[in-house]
């Protein structure tokens, strides 16, 4: 994934519109509290269109000099130590994501592109309790744990944007896109995956609407982001008219819709080629 998306609701964009809508009562969140930590989380995120997969985590503690994560097999998978002025200032919230290798043989990929199939990825990241620990000035320790599961929600399907009405729509899917087709997934359930992705409960849908412009173009930071309940009856949201009006003429945009599971695992689908405020037409990338 080319950006930090749902990541427990963390966004670094300069302009982000966040709304929480829907009639459901389910709230997707990191493990809160997480022992001595305010919150912590370990999750799997998949980009169904690009066909890449990554491990993400978050921990939020108080006045830490160091922090680490140990997986269910007892292997240390992350360690962070404050030094210099950061040692004086202390660590609190730490968020990171792994590299996201391709999980399929993309014919357009570089010949030396790393391929980590879904099965290989799951063999690398054991399901179970991930233990978070931290240490403060006087040696005081913080401890917490969170569960990583293999319940991977299916990729949203039929993602579309109506440039006239400003409505983004989608449907529930039945596969993981380029990471695993529905038939490939059939062979993995229940031996590898505990449940088929199309049967994983979607706790929330996350929609990211953003200008599809070159790096360095300030318009690219003007993103519209919304999270709605997973049991939303009509899978559609309307992009703010004020937001759309703020974009320059002939702005190409792309849309990502993510299915967020109860355990925060997320699968995103992406569609591009849309043009807003069209006057002369959007240039193709």
- Domain of 104, CATH number, reads 2.60.40
Whether residue 161 is contained in a domain is answered as yes
Is residue 48 located within the same domain as residue 104?
yes
In this structure, what DSSP letter does residue 256 have? E
The model's pTM is 0.87
pLDDT tens-digit series, residues 167-207: 999 999 999 999 999 999 999 999 999 999 999 999 999 99
Is residue 82 located within the same domain as residue 163?
no
Whether residue 144 is contained in a domain is answered as yes
Q: Find the angle CA(104)-CA(170)-CA(252) to the nearest 5 degrees.
A: 80
* CATH number of the CATH domain containing 208: 2.60.40.10
Is residue 123 located within the same domain as residue 193?
no
Distance CA 157, CA 174 (A): 8
Structurally, how many domains does the chain consist of?
A: 2
Percent of the chain scoring above 70 in pLDDT: 89
Is residue 226 located within the same domain as residue 269?
yes
Whether the predicted pLDDT of 284 surpasses 70: no
Whether the predicted pLDDT of 77 surpasses 70: yes
Check: CB of residue 165 under 8 Å from CB of residue 190. Answer: no
Whether the upstream peptide bond of residue 70 has omega within 30° of 0, thus cis, is no
Domain span at residue 94? 31-148
Query: Which of the listed residues 127, 148, 169 is the one where a domain comes to its end?
Result: 148
Whether residue 238 is contained in a domain is answered as yes
Is residue 240 located within the same domain as residue 190?
yes
Dihedral-angle region of residue 6 (phi above 0 means left; psi in -120 to 50 means alpha; beta otherwise)? alpha
Is residue 123 located within the same domain as residue 199?
no
Whether residue 212 is contained in a domain is answered as yes
Is residue 173 located within the same domain as residue 259?
yes
The token pair at 171 is 């449907």
The token pair at 167 is 């409505």
Q: Which of 28-32, 64-68, 130-134, 210-214 has the lowest mean pLDDT?
A: 28-32
Which helix (H) or strand (E) segment holds residue 184: the answer is: helix 182-186
Whether residue 38 is contained in a domain is answered as yes
Per-residue pLDDT band at 13 (split at 50, 70, 90): very low
Strand order in the sheet with 167-171: 157-162, 167-171, 236-238
Mean pLDDT: which of 2-16, 98-112, 172-186 is highest? 172-186
pLDDT tens-digit series, residues 231-275: 999 999 999 999 999 999 999 999 999 999 999 999 999 999 999
Query: Which of the listed residues 104, 119, 148 is the one where a domain comes to its end?
Result: 148
Whether residue 108 is contained in a domain is answered as yes
Distance CA 285, CA 282 (A): 9
Which helix (H) or strand (E) segment holds residue 119: the answer is: helix 118-124
pLDDT at 60: 94
Q: Which residues pair with 95 in a beta bridge?
A: 58
Instruction: Check the CA dihedral 247-253-257-258 and report its sign.
Output: negative
Q: Give the max Cα distance, the chain.
A: 64
Is residue 129 located within the same domain as residue 210?
no
Is residue 143 located within the same domain as residue 165?
no
Distance CA 183, CA 169 (A): 25
Whether residue 4 is contained in a domain is answered as no
Is residue 35 located within the same domain as residue 138?
yes
Distance CA 86, CA 79 (A): 15
Is residue 66 located within the same domain as residue 128?
yes
Query: Which of the listed residues 148, 167, 197 is the one where a domain comes to its end?
Result: 148
Is residue 55 located within the same domain as residue 127?
yes
Q: Which residues are within 8 A (CB) of 195 and not within 5 positions of it... i.e. 6 or more apart?
A: 151, 189
Whether residue 279 is contained in a domain is answered as no
């Amino acid at each position: 994934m080319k950006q930090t998306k749902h990541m427990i609701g963390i966004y670094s964009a300069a302009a982000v519109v966040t709304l929480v809508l829907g009639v459901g009562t389910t709230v997707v969140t990191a493990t809160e509290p997480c022992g001595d930590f305010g919150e912590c989380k370990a999750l799997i995120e998949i980009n169904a269109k690009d066909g890449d997969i990554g491990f993400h985590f978050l921990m939020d503690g108080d006045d830490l000099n160091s922090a680490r994560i140990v997986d269910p097999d007892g292997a240390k998978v992350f360690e962070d130590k404050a030094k210099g002025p950061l040692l004086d200032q202390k660590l609190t919230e730490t968020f990171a994501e792994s590299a996201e290798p391709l999980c399929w043989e993309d014919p357009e990929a570089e010949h030396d592109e790393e391929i980590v199939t879904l099965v290989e990825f799951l063999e690398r990241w054991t399901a179970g309790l991930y233990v978070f620990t931290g240490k403060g000035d006087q040696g005081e320790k913080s401890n917490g744990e969170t569960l990583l599961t293999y319940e991977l929600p299916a990729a949203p399907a039929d993602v579309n944007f109506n440039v006239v009405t400003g409505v983004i729509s989608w449907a529930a899917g039945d596969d993981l896109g380029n990471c695993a087709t529905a038939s490939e997934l059939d062979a993995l359930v229940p031996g590898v995956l505990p449940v088929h992705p199309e049967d994983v409960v979607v706790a929330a849908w996350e929609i990211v609407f953003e200008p599809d412009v070159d790096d360095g173009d300030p318009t690219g930071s003007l993103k519209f982001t919304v999270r709605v309940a997973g049991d939303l009856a009509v899978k559609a949201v309307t992009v703010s008219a004020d937001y759309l009006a703020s974009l320059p003429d002939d702005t190409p945009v792309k849309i990502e819709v993510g299915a967020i599971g109860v355990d925060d695992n997320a699968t995103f689908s992406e569609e591009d080629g849309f043009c807003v405020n069209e006057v002369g037409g959007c240039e193709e990338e």
